[in-house]
């Protein structure tokens, strides 16, 4: 039995490519996976979903695997969608939610992309994979490659969060710290292709990571009973998540499960420390100039150049959305605020989205009753470098001043 995929399609010029063999890019730009959506509509019902396991493979008619394909999985998907009344109140909003991806395997939403990318690479006979990473993608790829029995090479900037370094090595990937940015790591993977014979799993340089990230949008729609929110705030680096969700909404509208007139406004959130997409958005451009000197504590969005820049910008504009950069120096403050008010372990990238929510509410673009969803794309615990460490010491051998005790230890 086959999947519902009909072909791959170049995002830059619409050229069609076959989907039954390993593909990378066309004219150095990404490919879309296209489905026979009429057949999907006939094969899948909202009711049939209820019988299925709460993981991302419940949407398999809208994924590139056939019923007989072997899946490389760590049990990813169906992350909680949590109401955040206290955080909303803080900014004068009544309907704020967080889609908490921190609980996925390897502690970030990168597992969604990697379960698909590695499943498909294995299906097509790949034995060796390589990836440039800002951190979480490398850790996730290493884990899924280990699970699939593939040999993995991971290249990351030398100042990548330590946990990402450890998790990659621990999963058996040959891991290298590069004295540069993710774009420099990407060049190494590109240049090593012939000598090393590896398959390049870089963001958007193979077609299937988007399909995995797309499931964030499918889940969100199902969790809100097929009524999408007004605004989605998404921390944007390479952009697969935002592009994937927008594709998910279009596909759901095409099979008649969503009202195409009621799409959310998509907000691409970046830091002032690295904001190529925001600059292109503000300048009215479809392609972004590389951000020189990129530097942010939110390592997942430290992506100075994105090969899918035009796909991000198209999605943001089609949705009547925005691209916005938040001040780098406030990110940790927002991280602590969200964690303190809601108990959610918010990563710095999602903290930037909390900041964007505050800024866009202040300027009236987000209205008090808008339903707003923030994506917490990873776990705070993966960023010890960004977390508070100047805790108060307590001497067990001295009398304790109880009054003083009450006033200490709140990270504000």
Where on the chain is the footprint of ligand PLP (CB under 6 A)?
A: 108, 110, 136-137, 203, 235-241, 300-301, 347, 349, 377-378
- How far, in Å, are 71, 83, 98, 211 from residue 243 at the CA level? 23, 24, 19, 10
In whole angstroms, give the CA distance from residue 90 to residue 93: 8
Q: Which is nearer to ligand PLP, 37 or 134 (CB)?
A: 134
Neighbours of 295 (CB within 10 A): 14
Cβ 47 to ligand PLP shortest distance, Å? 31
In whole angstroms, give the CA distance from residue 241 to residue 237: 9
User: Which residues in 133-281 belong to E strands, given as ranges?
Assistant: 151-157, 174-178, 199-200, 231-235, 265-271
Q: Which is nearer to ligand PLP, 141 or 150 (CB)?
A: 141
Q: Which is nearer to ligand PLP, 61 or 219 (CB)?
A: 219
Q: Is 209 exposed, middle or buried (0-12, 13-18, 19+ CB in 10 A)?
A: buried
Strand 231-235: give its sheet, edge to edge. Answer: 81-83, 95-100, 371-376, 231-235, 265-271, 322-326
Q: Which is nearer to ligand PLP, 44 or 241 (CB)?
A: 241
Q: Which is nearer to ligand PLP, 240 or 336 (CB)?
A: 240
- Which H helix or E strand runs over 356? helix 348-362
In whole angstroms, give the CA distance from residue 352 to residue 364: 18
In whole angstroms, give the CA distance from residue 54 to residue 155: 33
Cβ 151 to ligand PLP shortest distance, Å? 23
Cβ 394 to ligand PLP shortest distance, Å? 33
Cβ 301 to ligand PLP shortest distance, Å? 5
Tokens 């009973």 correspond to what residue?
225
Q: Which is nearer to ligand PLP, 119 or 236 (CB)?
A: 236
In whole angstroms, give the CA distance from residue 337 to residue 388: 12
Q: Three-state DSSP class for 30?
A: coil
Structure tokens at 383: 């960023």
Cβ 241 to ligand PLP shortest distance, Å? 3
Nearest Cα to Cα of residue 300 among 218, 241, 363, 232: 241
Q: Which is nearer to ligand PLP, 147 or 213 (CB)?
A: 213
Cβ 229 to ligand PLP shortest distance, Å? 18
Q: Which is nearer to ligand PLP, 3 or 376 (CB)?
A: 376
Q: Which is nearer to ligand PLP, 129 or 137 (CB)?
A: 137
Cβ 108 to ligand PLP shortest distance, Å? 5
Asked if residues 303 and 237 have their Cβ atoms less than 8 Å apart, the reply is: yes
Which residue sits closest to ligand PLP, CB atoms considered?
300
- Report the length, in residues, of the chain: 412
Structure tokens at 281: 């958005």
Cβ 147 to ligand PLP shortest distance, Å? 19
Cβ 179 to ligand PLP shortest distance, Å? 21
């Amino acid at each position: 039995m086959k999947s519902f995929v009909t072909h791959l399609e170049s995002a830059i010029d619409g050229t069609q490519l076959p989907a039954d063999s390993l593909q990378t890019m066309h004219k150095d730009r990404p490919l879309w996976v296209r489905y026979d959506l009429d057949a999907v509509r006939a094969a899948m019902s909202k009711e049939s979903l209820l019988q299925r396991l709460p993981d991302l493979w419940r949407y398999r008619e809208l994924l590139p695997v056939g019923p007989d394909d072997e899946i490389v999985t760590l049990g990813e998907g169906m992350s909680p969608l949590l109401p955040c009344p206290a955080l909303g109140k803080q900014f004068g909003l009544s309907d704020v939610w967080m889609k908490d991806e921190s609980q996925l395997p390897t502690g970030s939403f990168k597992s969604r992309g990697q379960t698909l990318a590695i499943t498909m690479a294995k299906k097509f006979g790949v034995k060796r994979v390589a990836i440039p990473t800002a951190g979480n993608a490398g850790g996730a790829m290493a884990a899924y490659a280990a699970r699939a029995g593939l040999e993995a090479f991971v290249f990351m900037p030398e100042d990548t969060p330590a946990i990402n370094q450890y998790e990659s090595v621990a999963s058996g990937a040959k891991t290298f710290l590069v004295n540069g940015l993710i774009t420099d790591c990407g060049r190494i993977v590109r240049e090593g292709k012939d000598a090393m014979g590896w398959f390049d799993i870089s963001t958007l340089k193979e077609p299937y990571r988007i399909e995995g990230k797309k499931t964030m949008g499918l889940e969100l729609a199902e969790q809100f009973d097929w009524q999408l929110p007004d605004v989605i705030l998404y921390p944007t680096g390479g952009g697969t998540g935002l592009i994937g969700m927008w594709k998910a909404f279009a596909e759901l509208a095409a099979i008649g499960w969503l009202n195409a007139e009621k799409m959310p406004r998509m907000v691409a959130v970046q830091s002032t420390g690295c904001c190529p997409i925001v600059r292109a958005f503000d300048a009215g451009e479809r392609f972004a100039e590389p951000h020189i000197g990129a530097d942010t504590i939110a390592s997942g969005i430290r992506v100075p150049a994105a090969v899918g820049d035009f796909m991000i910008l198209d999605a943001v504009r089609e949705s009547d959305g925005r691209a916005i950069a938040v001040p780098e120096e406030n990110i940790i403050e927002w991280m602590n605020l969200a964690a303190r008010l809601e108990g959610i372990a918010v990563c710095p990238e999602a903290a930037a989205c909390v900041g964007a929510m505050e800024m866009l509410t202040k300027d009236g673009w987000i209205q008090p009753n808008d339903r707003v969803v923030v994506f917490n794309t990873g776990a705070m615990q993966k960023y010890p470098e960004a977390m508070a460490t100047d805790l108060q010491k307590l001497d067990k051998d001295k009398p304790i001043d109880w009054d003083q005790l009450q006033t200490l230890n709140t990270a504000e």
